[in-house]
Chain A
Amino acid sequence: NAGVTQTPKFQVLKTGQSMTLQCAQDMNHEYMSWYRQDPGMGLRLIHYSVGAGITDQGEVPNGYNVSRSTTEDFPLRLLSAAPSQTSVYFCASSPAIGNTEAFFGQGTRLTVV
């Protein structure tokens, strides 16, 4: 059981480039979320989804797009990378029922130069 898988683990981008961070879960969870963690800080919610076709903004959504075409996948797109988006990105999933834990991926460390 792989759980929540994020790819890539590390990425360096130039300012203005675009890219997609991938997130996949094999637990058939309805809920998925993206967070960013800046140095010395807790995680902050970027976007979340309660099911396929349904997404909503979190605390820090600017500069990011998401879509959820399947239950399993929840990619995060950076449209035009900026140095302020240098961070560690975590994807998480949780079930709609028995919702006492959010399962996190291993994280993607992104550096924008």
Chain B
Amino acid sequence: AQKITQTQPGMFVQEKEAVTLDCTYDTSDPSYGLFWYKQPSSGEMIFLIYQGSYDQQNATEGRYSLNFQKARKSANLVISASQLGDSAMYFCAMEPNIIQGAQKLVFGQGTRLTINP
């Protein structure tokens, strides 16, 4: 069964520090995709970063990077130089068969990140 586990319900970080949000996944499909979304208090889902199971390099998007460790089945999100606007809920998600498109995402329960000034 496909599953995403986020073990940190909440995290508190000082502004300008780096923060790592943990995500482990479970799937038997070889061609999967991993996503991170941000959900601010306004409620919308904001796409942050994507990593494909066959991608050799770790994905990066600006201040966001994904620490992809395939053997450990982990896909941790790293936010560098955190800002007050980073305070939000963060969701890790997986598409078990990315060849068929990002249509059946499996989500973790999320981590609430709070950035302190």
The listed residue (A30, A32, A33, A50) touching B105 by CB distance below 8 A is A33
Binds B, one of A18-26, A40-48, A78-86: A40-48
Nearest Cβ in chain B — how far from A70, in angstroms?
17
Interchain CB contact under 8 A, A31 and B101:
yes
Structural contact, A101 and B50, CB atoms closer than 8 A: yes
* Binding site secondary structure of chain A: strand
CB contact between A43 and one of B50, B100, B101, B105 (< 8 Å): that residue:
B105
Query: In chain B between 32 and 76, which residues have their CB closer than 8 angstroms to a CB of chain A?
Result: 33, 35, 37, 43-45, 47, 50, 52
B102 touches A41 (CB 8 A): no
- CB-contacts of A44-63 with B (<8 A): 44-45, 48-50, 58
Closest Cβ of chain A to B3, distance in Å, is 11
Q: A42-B110, A106-B43, A107-B44 are in contact. Are A99 and B104 (CB under 8 A)?
A: no
Interface residues of B (CB under 8 A from A): 4, 33, 35, 37, 43-45, 47, 50, 52, 91, 93, 95, 98, 100-110
Which residues of A pack against B, CB within 8 Å?
A: 30-33, 35, 40-45, 48-50, 58, 88, 90, 92, 94-96, 99-104, 106-107, 109
